[in-house]
Amino acid sequence: MILFFTLMVILIFLQIIYRYVLVRPIPWAEEAARYCFIWATFLGASVATKTKGHTSVELIINLVPEKFQRVLNLLGYTISIIFLWFIVKYGYSVSRSILTMKQTSPALQMPMFYAYIGIPLGAAAMALNYLYVFLEEIENYKSNYPKKREISIGGVEEGLQKEDLLREEK
Least confident range of 15-24, 106-115, 149-158: 149-158
How far apart are alpha carbons 12 and 29 in whole angstroms?
7
The verdict on residue 104 lying in a domain is: yes
Say if residue 166's pLDDT is above 70: no
In DSSP notation, 137-157 reads HHHHHHHSSPPP-EEEETTEE
The verdict on residue 110 lying in a domain is: yes
Q: What pLDDT does residue 58 have? A: 77
Number of domains in the chain: 1
DSSP three-state, residue 1? coil
Residue of 123, 132, 38, 135 lying closest to 83 (CA atoms): 123
Say if residue 31's pLDDT is above 60: yes
The verdict on residue 137 lying in a domain is: yes
The verdict on residue 10 lying in a domain is: no
Prediction pTM value: 0.73
Please say whether the beta carbons of 14 and 28 come within 8 A: no
The verdict on residue 96 lying in a domain is: yes
Say if residue 38's pLDDT is above 80: yes
Q: What pLDDT does residue 128 have? A: 94
Say if residue 19's pLDDT is above 80: yes
Q: Range of 127's domain? A: 41-169
Structural Rg of the chain based on CA atoms: 21
What is the pLDDT confidence band of residue 141, given thresholds at 50, 70 and 90? confident
Q: Tell me how far the alpha carbon of residue 159 is from its chain's centroid.
A: 20
How far apart are alpha carbons 93 and 161 in whole angstroms?
41
DSSP three-state, residue 62? helix
The verdict on residue 67 lying in a domain is: yes
Please say whether the beta carbons of 15 and 29 come within 8 A: yes
Compare 151 and 130 and report the one with higher pLDDT.
Answer: 130
Least confident range of 55-64, 80-89, 149-158: 149-158
The verdict on residue 6 lying in a domain is: no
What is the pLDDT confidence band of residue 157, given thresholds at 50, 70 and 90? very low
